[in-house]
Amino acid sequence: MQNKWLVSVVWVAVATLISVNVAAKEYLVQDQTQFADAVSSLQPGDIVTLADGIWSDFEIDFVAKGTVEAPITLQAQTPGKVLLTGQSNLQLAGEYLIVSGLYFTRGYSPSNAVIEFRHSKTHLANYSRVTNTVIESYNNSEKFSGGNWVALYGQYNRFDHNALLGKRTSGVTMAVRLNSKESQANYHRIDHNYFGERPILGSNGGETLRVGTSHYSLSNSFTMIENNYFDRCNGEVEIISNKSGANTIQNNVFFESRGTLTLRHGNGNIVQNNVFFGNGVEHTGGIRVINGDQTIRNNYLEGVTGYRFGSGMTIMNGVPNSKINRYHQVDNAKITHNSFINLDHIHFAAGSDAERTAAPINSLFSRNLIAHNNNTDGISVFDDLSGITFKDNVVHGADELTIDNGFASKTIDLVRAENGLLYPQDPALASYGASTQLQPTTKQDTGPSWYTKPELSVAFSSGKTHTVSSTPKALYKALTAAQSGDVLQLTQGHYTVSRPLAIDKVITIKGTKGVTVSFERKSLFVLEDGGSLALSHLTISGVDAPDSAGNTMIRNTRQPTIHTYRLSMDHVVVKDLDINHSFHVFDSGYRAFADEITITNSQFSNITGDILRLNKEQDDLGIYNAEYVTLAGNEFSHIQGTLMNVYRGGTDESTFGPHVFVHNNSITNVGMGKRNKSKAVLTLHGVQVTKIEGNRFVDSPVIVINHTVGEPKTLVADNQFSGMSAPVIQELYATGPVTATLVNNTFTLNSTSTK
Ligand code: CA
């Protein structure tokens, strides 16, 4: 038995090798003890094979020394059939090691990383490779102590054909570390990986790939990042955060990813032959240039919508004599032969302010092709551009050129070529924009061949419909039996719900005319981690709720959650949440984060608490509770609390949200209760995009909007305010006038409501 797993194989040395034949061994190991035994005596050429099955709580220490001719391999018996679950991780250290075919799932790493190319601070991996491996949704339940998934140390390592998806905690998905000389000038190669969906984090720390840190950013890294596919990497404003020198980022595809490839620190990087497909998705970005000697050539960007630092192309202003962690001046940037197609924004000298006064110098912008359906060049200029030479760029039919010299406006007919990209039909324009030789990396080209890349999120109403009657417990039982994506269709009747309904999947609950719901506990719905809820065509009353303060119709679990969630209400009537004081409609949990909260065509009346409480992150770290909040076409009346309180504190600029849209609502006598400490009808603090349009506000306190950082966009337009004063909008950090736009609002001091 002892030796049964030790299979001796004769390793045939390749004839060209200098070494004599070595009897390499293959160990098929069944458990952690056998693995440790095998690893303790590994020789060049040996292979350790993990038996197919579930390996739980397995911290793999793969420490060995192979040779260039005879590397040492750690592999799955069948690629993808070795599951590392629970609290597992991998550290490799030594030389010429290969790891292949592992699948990290259903758990999280107990340490700082899932895969680390080192065993200790000084014992690193060199000339080693991790391939054919997956890390899927391998998350700690503590959202903001997530660590990195992959940490590359040492030199000459390769990370290829892996898939990393579903990171929901803070910490970069993959980091190249340069924190000692042994990890600098590393010549790593990161290629053919599938960087799959990374949901919006709602904070800094959601980068997908970071190379270096500001501290070591003047060191050259020589890392090659090529042929990877970045699929909806939406964590934060930076998809790739390059913070070191002499890296090459090429032939990658960025698909509908919110954020940019940012050359944040370090000089002499090359960004070429990359393709960005924004497909019109909000906040999709391109390339952001900072520092010296950066080359940006032959990239193709299409349908990219981002603005400001998240634009399709952003050339930043620097800080004179910048500290290492601020903004070094753009010097000797070469931006040539790029195609900018339906790119909404190109920003030159972006971020120009009292600190960032150093405009780009010695730079070239040439042979680029700009074509936008809206006959615009999309260019904005924020400072002196005399340091950039503009030469031989063409723009499709722009009504007006933003920059006079170096751009020619022409009518350019574009046709889609076999490679899926658009090129000018006119052969005379062939030398502008990206090359026809570009071959975009496909999703299929990346990740392990054994792995079917899953969709992580389930859409509402994508599953089966179950008809539910109003008999006691029927709703509860149907909910328990339902699958994510299913619809519970309630038949006519009154539903008295006697226990809080835990929503731990994606569920739609639909009523019809004559469906009424009341509940006997402090909450009707509790959103658990992984749950999302859509309600429609229901009337919900608070009359049967307990006579105690602080009831809440819908709330998140009290535990922190890591899955983003969605909450939607359409054609819902909510009334009589007034049995006691502070009876709220929705209360966010601490460390809960909504992708979207959407309330449409609904009516709310006689409520003693607040409608939406989205102010649970009071630590002022730029963390908040919801990315998109929309109220449209609703009626709110006689609400003692506030319509909403959205809070994003601090000065961090790593997120695009929150976004708040309040359209075409009727809001009467909302926020006048003595327990509404905000004394506001709604309070938005640190919201990045606000649109309050076409509403009728009557007999309610003021709107309060606090602008923090990030040049927030606020529009308050076409509203009627009766018996109320004008919105109070303040700049908490920026000096100068308030940047909000207030237009076409009408104010009548006397109330017009009938009380
Ligand atoms: Ca960041």
Cα(58) to centroid of ligand 1, in Å? 31
**Mean pLDDT on 443-465:** 97
Instruction: With respect to residue 136, please indicate whether it lies within any of the assigned structural domains.
Output: yes
Cα(689) to centroid of ligand 1, in Å? 19
Residue in 563, 564, 456 with CA at minimum distance from that of residue 195: 456
Shared-domain flag, residues 4 and 105: yes
Shared-domain flag, residues 291 and 177: no
Rounded to the nearest angstrom, the gap between the alpha carbon of residue 175 and the centroid of all alpha carbons in its chain is 16
Cα(686) to centroid of ligand 1, in Å? 17
Cα(727) to centroid of ligand 1, in Å? 32
**Mean pLDDT on 345-369:** 97
Contact partners, residue 551, CB within 8 Å, separation at least 6: 522, 523, 542, 545, 577, 579, 580, 582, 583, 584, 609
Give the angle 587-236-630 at the CA atoms, nearest 5°: 40
Cα(84) to centroid of ligand 1, in Å? 29
Angstrom distances, CA of residue 33 to CA of 28, 58, 332: 12, 11, 57
Cα(370) to centroid of ligand 1, in Å? 29
- Residue 145 is predicted with a pLDDT of 84
Tokens of 127: 């000339």
Is there a contact between 551 and 529 (Cβ–Cβ < 8 Å)? no
Cα(235) to centroid of ligand 1, in Å? 9
**pLDDT of 471-498, one tens digit each?**
999 999 999 999 999 999 999 999 999 9
- Residue 28 is predicted with a pLDDT of 98
- Residue 22 is predicted with a pLDDT of 57
Q: What's the number of domains the chain is made of?
A: 3
Cα(96) to centroid of ligand 1, in Å? 33
CB-neighbour burial class of residue 547 (10 A; exposed 0-12, middle 13-18, buried 19+)? exposed
Residue in 490, 496, 562, 495 with CA at minimum distance from that of residue 531: 562
pLDDT band of 13, cuts 50, 70, 90 = very low
- Residue 11 is predicted with a pLDDT of 38
Per-chain mean pLDDT for the chain: 95
Instruction: With respect to residue 496, please indicate whether it lies within any of the assigned structural domains.
Output: no
Cα(248) to centroid of ligand 1, in Å? 20
Instruction: With respect to residue 752, please indicate whether it lies within any of the assigned structural domains.
Output: yes
Cα(652) to centroid of ligand 1, in Å? 9
Angstrom distances, CA of residue 368 to CA of 298, 332, 364, 395, 430: 9, 17, 11, 8, 11
Cα(205) to centroid of ligand 1, in Å? 5
CB-neighbour burial class of residue 85 (10 A; exposed 0-12, middle 13-18, buried 19+)? middle
Within 13 A of 648's CA, how many CA atoms are on the CB side? Answer: 32
Cα(718) to centroid of ligand 1, in Å? 36
**Mean pLDDT on 176-187:** 97
Rounded to the nearest angstrom, the gap between the alpha carbon of residue 248 and the centroid of all alpha carbons in its chain is 24
Shared-domain flag, residues 176 and 53: yes
Q: Among 3-17, 76-90, 181-195, 294-308, which is the least confidently predicted range?
A: 3-17
Cα(658) to centroid of ligand 1, in Å? 16
Cα(146) to centroid of ligand 1, in Å? 15
Shared-domain flag, residues 732 and 614: yes
Cα(625) to centroid of ligand 1, in Å? 18
Where does 367-428 show beta strands of DSSP type E? Answer: 369-371, 379-381, 388-391, 393-396, 407-410, 414-416, 422-424
**Mean pLDDT on 696-707:** 97
Cα(367) to centroid of ligand 1, in Å? 32
Is there a contact between 522 and 554 (Cβ–Cβ < 8 Å)? no
Residues, the chain, total? 755
Residue 290 backbone phi and psi in degrees, to 5: -140, 160
Question: Under DSSP, is residue 428 helix (H, G, I), strand (E, B) or coil?
Answer: helix
**Dihedral sign from CA coordinates of 68, 74, 77, 79:** negative
Q: From 144, 163, 194, give the residue that closes a domain.
A: 194
Shared-domain flag, residues 176 and 324: no
* Sequence letter at residue 453: K
Cα(676) to centroid of ligand 1, in Å? 35
Question: Under DSSP, is residue 480 helix (H, G, I), strand (E, B) or coil?
Answer: helix
Shared-domain flag, residues 280 and 190: no
Cα(172) to centroid of ligand 1, in Å? 9
Cα(533) to centroid of ligand 1, in Å? 30
Q: From 388, 416, 440, give the residue that closes a domain.
A: 440
Cα(264) to centroid of ligand 1, in Å? 10
Cα(115) to centroid of ligand 1, in Å? 21
**Mean pLDDT on 6-34:** 64
Question: Under DSSP, is residue 33 helix (H, G, I), strand (E, B) or coil?
Answer: helix
Residue in 291, 301, 213, 210 with CA at minimum distance from that of residue 252: 301
Cα(238) to centroid of ligand 1, in Å? 6
Cα(439) to centroid of ligand 1, in Å? 30
Q: From 440, 471, 505, give the residue that closes a domain.
A: 440
Cα(236) to centroid of ligand 1, in Å? 7
Instruction: With respect to residue 225, please indicate whether it lies within any of the assigned structural domains.
Output: no
Q: What is the pTM of this model?
A: 0.94
Cα(207) to centroid of ligand 1, in Å? 6
Shared-domain flag, residues 313 and 188: no
Cα(201) to centroid of ligand 1, in Å? 11
- Residue 18 is predicted with a pLDDT of 44
Shared-domain flag, residues 299 and 185: no
- Residue 399 is predicted with a pLDDT of 86
Cα(319) to centroid of ligand 1, in Å? 19
Instruction: With respect to residue 663, please indicate whether it lies within any of the assigned structural domains.
Output: yes
Residue 316 pLDDT more than 80? yes
**pLDDT of 140-173, one tens digit each?**
988 998 899 999 999 999 999 999 999 999 999 9
Cα(657) to centroid of ligand 1, in Å? 14
Contact partners, residue 732, CB within 8 Å, separation at least 6: 706, 707, 708
- Residue 737 is predicted with a pLDDT of 85
Cα(527) to centroid of ligand 1, in Å? 29
Cα(687) to centroid of ligand 1, in Å? 18
Contact partners, residue 692, CB within 8 Å, separation at least 6: 660, 662, 663, 703, 715, 716, 717, 719, 727
Cα(212) to centroid of ligand 1, in Å? 13
Instruction: With respect to residue 433, please indicate whether it lies within any of the assigned structural domains.
Output: yes
Cα(239) to centroid of ligand 1, in Å? 9
Cα(554) to centroid of ligand 1, in Å? 32
Residue 247 pLDDT more than 60? yes
Cα(755) to centroid of ligand 1, in Å? 51
Cα(244) to centroid of ligand 1, in Å? 15
Instruction: With respect to residue 734, please indicate whether it lies within any of the assigned structural domains.
Output: yes
Cα(203) to centroid of ligand 1, in Å? 8
Is there a contact between 685 and 708 (Cβ–Cβ < 8 Å)? yes
Instruction: With respect to residue 434, please indicate whether it lies within any of the assigned structural domains.
Output: yes
Cα(170) to centroid of ligand 1, in Å? 10
Give the angle 114-139-552 at the CA atoms, nearest 5°: 165
Cα(206) to centroid of ligand 1, in Å? 6
Residue 478 backbone phi and psi in degrees, to 5: -65, -40
Residue 20 pLDDT more than 70? no
Shared-domain flag, residues 17 and 141: yes
Residue 2 pLDDT more than 80? no
**pLDDT of 636-687, one tens digit each?**
999 999 999 999 999 999 999 999 999 999 999 999 999 999 999 999 999 9
CA distance 624 to 594: 9
- Residue 751 is predicted with a pLDDT of 61
Indicate which CATH number applies to the domain containing 33: 2.160.20.10
Shared-domain flag, residues 625 and 736: yes
Domain around 723: 610-755
- Residue 752 is predicted with a pLDDT of 53
Query: What dihedral do alpha carbons 526, 532, 536, 539 form, nearest 10°?
Result: 10
Cα(240) to centroid of ligand 1, in Å? 9
